Amino acid sequence: MTVPREHPPAARRTRIVAVLTCFNRKALTLACLEALAFTAGRAGVDLEAILVDDASPDGTAAAVRERFPWVVLIAGSGSLFWNRGMHKGFALALERPADFYLWLNDDTHLVPDALPALLAQAATLRQRHRGAVIVVGASAERDSGRVSYGGRVADSRWRPFNYRLVHSASEPVPCEAIEGNCVLIPHDAAMRVGNLDPVFEHAMGDTDYGLRARRLGVPAFVAAGIVGHCSPNPLGGSYFDTSLPLARRWKLIRSRKGLPVRSWLHFCRRHGGAAWPLHFAWPYAKVLLTSIKAALPGRRPAAAATVRPH
């Protein structure tokens, strides 16, 4: 009697839920989603994306509905900014079944092999560390190739919030602080760490998430190579710009895109240790001191650099 062979079940495809937030830059958002869909096809994964559109007046939401019907759109109030927009989108994502969650900035244009590379390195790191590992994708300036965003480590124990970028073209490298431009989070890591903290208004939420994950035993690594292109935010016109009047810089540092007092206080108390009051006061004091110095006779204000403010 011949026993018929059973065909092995088809391997289940990896499922990724991407989370993005946007405001009023339709062309960049559409290009980002196009590149995301392409690299997901290269990786052979099942992809869903959740996009929080924070009341963009430029028709972003309508354009996304027309071109990308697989994207779940959430309408924002216009006052969410990055962290609270991502918190809202990630909350919905965490209710979805997924193997991985992908944070993605809408101004990050992924290269075709971004997801295959991230997934391969995530698998290797999980095996090596015997557990969940957050994998941060590094982005670079398109023209110069210089790394613009990714993962960072503290310069010294005395300056714990002064982070410098770390990156290798050939192997993943550990990091402490993560930048949310492109971050691959395994399901079990997300369940352990939870959502972004909504107390942060715009920035700091991604840095806080990486530090919280580290405390909970979930390490983060910057993936080898470059996964996308993204230009850094220029610091000209920000509170770092010493050519601006003190009154303007003082307003900017306390704004949502600067170091709003409540958010910065929360971050320093959580991660600053016993010296947190000094870490909290220093950026505000530095604005005052550098403005006074720039106003001295014979002093020429320094040109604003282009770096990641932290």
**pLDDT tens for each residue of 96-141:** 999 999 999 999 999 999 999 999 999 999 999 999 999 999 999 9
Question: Do residue 257 and residue 217 come from a single domain?
Answer: no
| Mean pLDDT estimate for the chain | 93
Q: How confident is the model at residue 307 (pLDDT cuts 50, 70, 90)?
A: very low
Last residue of a domain, one of 201, 229, 257: 229
In a domain, 162, yes or no: yes
Note the pTM of the prediction, 2 decimals.
0.92
Residues 181, 76: one domain? yes
Structural domain includes residue 302: yes
Q: Is 4 exposed, middle or buried (0-12, 13-18, 19+ CB in 10 A)?
A: exposed
**Residue 303 pLDDT greater than 60, yes or no:** no
Structural domain ending residue among the three candidates 194, 229, 264: 229
**Is 33 a member of any domain?**
yes
CB 32 within 8 A of CB 1: no
Asked whether residue 9 carries a pLDDT value surpassing 90, the answer given is no
199 and 269 both lie in a single domain: no
**Does the residue 6 lie in any domain?**
no
Looking at the structure, tell me whether residues 183 and 117 fall in a common domain: yes
How far is the C-alpha of 55 from the C-alpha of 222, rounded, in Å?
33
Per-residue DSSP letters for 239-271?
Answer: TT-TTS-HHHHHHHHTSTTS--HHHHHHHHHHH
Same domain for 163 and 310 = no
In a domain, 252, yes or no: yes
pLDDT at 6: 53
Per residue in 53-95, pLDDT (tens digit) is 999 999 999 999 999 999 999 999 999 999 999 999 999 999 9
Within this chain, do residues 86 and 159 fall inside the same structural domain, yes or no? yes
The total of structural domains in the chain comes to 2
In this structure, what are the phi and psi dihedrals at residue 265, rounded to the nearest 5 degrees?
A: -60, -45
Q: Give domain status of residue 4, yes or no.
A: no
Angle, in degrees to the nearest 10, between helices 26-43 and 60-67 = 30
**299 and 251 in a common domain:** yes
Instruction: Let me know whether 20 and 101 are in one domain.
Output: yes
pLDDT of residue 155: 86
pLDDT of residue 309: 38
Residue 9 lies in a domain: no
205-215 vs 81-93: helix crossing angle, rounded to 10 = 50
- For residues 299-308, give the mean pLDDT: 44
Query: Residue 1's pLDDT is what?
Result: 42
Q: Residue 278 belongs to what domain range?
A: 234-310
Report the sign of the C-alpha dihedral through residues 266, 272, 275, 281, in that order.
Answer: negative
Same domain (yes/no): 37, 153:
yes
Name the nearest CA neighbour of 155 among 166, 170, 168, 141.
166
Same domain? 219 vs 284? no
Task: Please name the amino acid found at residue 53.
Answer: D
- Domain with residue 145: its CATH number is 3.90.550.60
Q: What are phi and psi of 240, to 5 degrees?
A: -75, -15
Are residue 222 and residue 256 in the same domain, yes or no? Answer: no
Residues 58 and 117 in one domain: yes
User: Which residue among 211, 229, 247 closes a domain?
Assistant: 229
Residue 3 lies in a domain: no
Q: What is the pLDDT of residue 159?
A: 87
